[in-house]
């Protein structure tokens, strides 16, 4: 099992978003994440929580990855972590499952990612 967390200041996300809105969104967030965040009067909490989720996952994943290889989707009322197909396959070969929780307050957004071992990894482990 591995646990990663990340805390992001909302004002930091607001500043970056104001300076380079299109570039920031396109480079770091999937179209679905963008649509979800921009549907709110203030997209910063939603963007910050998703940014934190990507960072938290990166802290527990043993390889480099791209910003849009990991994203937050909604399943009913709860957020879930989704991975690009190749990354999801690697996760499953290692016998891991990812869990996510998000929270935000007036100043910050927090994400915690837990990688749980669900089976024994394949002999190659890759």
CB 113 within 8 A of CB 1: no
Superfamily of segment(s) 2-117: 4'-phosphopantetheinyl transferase domain (3.90.470.20)
List the chain pLDDT tens, one digit each, 126 residues: 899 999 999 999 999 999 999 999 999 999 999 999 999 999 999 999 999 999 999 999 999 999 999 999 998 889 999 999 999 999 999 999 999 999 999 999 999 999 999 866 556 655
Q: What angle, 0 to 180 degrees and rounded to 10, lies between the N-to-C axes of helices 21-28 and 10-19?
A: 110
User: Nearest-CA neighbor of 97 among 43, 57, 65, 54?
Assistant: 57
If DSSP states are collapsed to H, E and C, what string results for 19-49? HCHHHHHHHHCCHHHHHHHHCCCCCHHHHHH
Length, in residues, of the chain: 126
Segments making up each domain of the chain, as ranges: 2-117
């Amino acid at each position: 099992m591995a646990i990663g967390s990340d805390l992001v200041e909302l004002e930091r996300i607001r500043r970056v978003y104001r300076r380079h809105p299109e570039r920031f969104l396109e480079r770091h967030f999937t179209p679905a994440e963008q649509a979800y965040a921009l549907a709110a009067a203030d997209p910063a909490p939603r963007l910050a929580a998703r940014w934190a989720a990507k960072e938290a996952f990166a802290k527990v994943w043993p390889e480099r990855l791209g910003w849009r290889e990991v994203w937050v989707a909604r399943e009913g009322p709860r957020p879930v972590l989704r991975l690009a197909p190749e990354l999801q396959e690697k996760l499953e070969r290692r016998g891991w499952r990812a869990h996510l929780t998000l929270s935000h307050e007036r100043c910050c957004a927090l994400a915690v990612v837990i990688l749980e071992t669900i089976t024994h990894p394949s002999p190659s482990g890759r």
